[in-house]
A = this chain, B = another copy of it.
Amino acid sequence: MSFRIQKRDPATRARTGLLALGHGTVATPCFMPVGTNAGVKAMKNQALEEMGINLILSNAYHLYLRPGAEVIRAAGGLHRFMSWRHNLLTDSGGFQVFSLAPFRKVDEEGVAFKSHLDGSSHRLTPESVVDFQLLLGSDVMMPLDVCTGPGIDRAEARGALLTTTRWLERAAARWSAAEEPRKGLLFGILQGNFFADLRAESAEGILPLDLPGYAIGGLSVGEPHEVFLEILGASAALLPEDKPRYLMGVGTPDYILGAVESGVDMFDCVLPTRIARNACVLTRQGTLSLRNERNRLDFGPLDPACRCETCREYSRAYLRHLFKAREIQAAVLATHHNIHFMRIFMQEIRQAIADGRFAEYKKGFLAEYGRGTRNASTS
């Protein structure tokens, strides 16, 4: 059994767990920093390691296009290529094909698309995506799925989920047959767009495969927060209690708290790293834009509550200066802070669940965080 639940919050569906993977055991709920191109942007592996982060995400789509299978095979897998000693989860590429590729065509066999880098033509199938992730040596691999956004009709949503289910069956067959000695776990992905009954139909299709974990796809793609929470709650409740639940692409603190409350265990999002490069940092009082004029003479840390290297050493005024001067180091220092913020945030969530006071923690966090965000956006 690769997943073991440790504690359950008495008042909500939140739980803590331990997920044993090929490169170490991960405490859940966890947030996975995103390393799109075989590396978390502007972060050294060593810094992630020092924060105790032992699971990051990378993207099969990006790696398939660049540097490509030949290079990673020759390197001896993705861990060796990027010199990362801990766990890797790789996304299948499904989402990227639908969001990045300038052209795509889905048929029963798979998806044909053109590269967003050079326009070259490629084809992914459920089997080829498993094969590529076996080559990468991913500790958790995600299957090819058909992603949909808000605003599509029920028939289209149902068609996408049924294809996703058939593709998952093929992926699972390929994965089961693979003879790699230490192959990673294959998760299933629940789809069904924003139709609760389609989510249930998706669950009926994918749960019999009895995979080691299940992800919730197709949420936080532009829908209203209430719709997100409703479909999320329904989706999480459909998934097995004893397996890890992974909410794909979600990473703002408020969304994470809502999802943890519904029993979700794993998260990933580019947000903390992306906003950092855009001079925006996460604080207890909400997000802070460092370009703001009022930081010009503010020699305090980004977040007085933070003990990260950036906050221990540097001021808001200095980071503002580095961003104004377009210094690389600005992105490095802000990214470090944001990843550290997420790390501490998830640690606190786990502790609150363990102490049976998750609902209280959530309320307190949001009261402070939301207040600050409002202030920041109105100032």
- Check A39/B75 contact, CB under 8 A, given A44-B329, A313-B83, A332-B44: no
Say if the beta carbon of A322 comes within 8 Å of chain B: yes
A1-60 residues at the B interface, CB under 8 angstroms: 37-39, 41-46
A71 CB within 8 Å of chain B: yes
Residues of B close to A296: CB separation below 8 A: 67, 71
Partner of A321, one of B37, B277, B322: B37
Interface size class of A (residues with CB under 8 A): 35 or more
Q: Are A329 and B74 in contact (CB under 8 A)?
A: no
Residue in B66, B325, B328 whose beta carbon sits within 8 Å of that of A332 in the complex: B328
Measured between beta carbons, the chain B residues less than 8 angstroms from A71 are 296-297, 317, 321
Q: How long is the Cα–Cα vector from A62 to B83 in the complex, in angstroms?
A: 37
Instruction: Identify the closest chain B residue to A42 (Cβ).
Output: B328
Checking B44, B46, B70, B317 against A67 with a beta-carbon cut-off of 8 angstroms, the contacting residue is B317
The CA of A332 and the CA of B314, in the complex, are separated in Å by 18
With a CB–CB cut-off of 8 A, which chain B residues contact A277? 328
Most chain B CB within 10 A, of A39, A42, A299, A313, is at A39
Question: At the interface, yes or no: A154 with Cβ under 8 Å from chain B?
Answer: no
> What are 26 pairs between A and B in contact, CB < 8 Å?
A37-B321, A38-B321, A38-B322, A39-B322, A41-B327, A41-B328, A42-B329, A43-B329, A44-B329, A66-B324, A66-B325, A67-B317, A67-B321, A70-B297, A71-B296, A71-B317, A74-B297, A75-B299, A75-B317, A81-B315, A81-B317, A83-B315, A83-B318, A328-B331, A328-B332, A332-B332
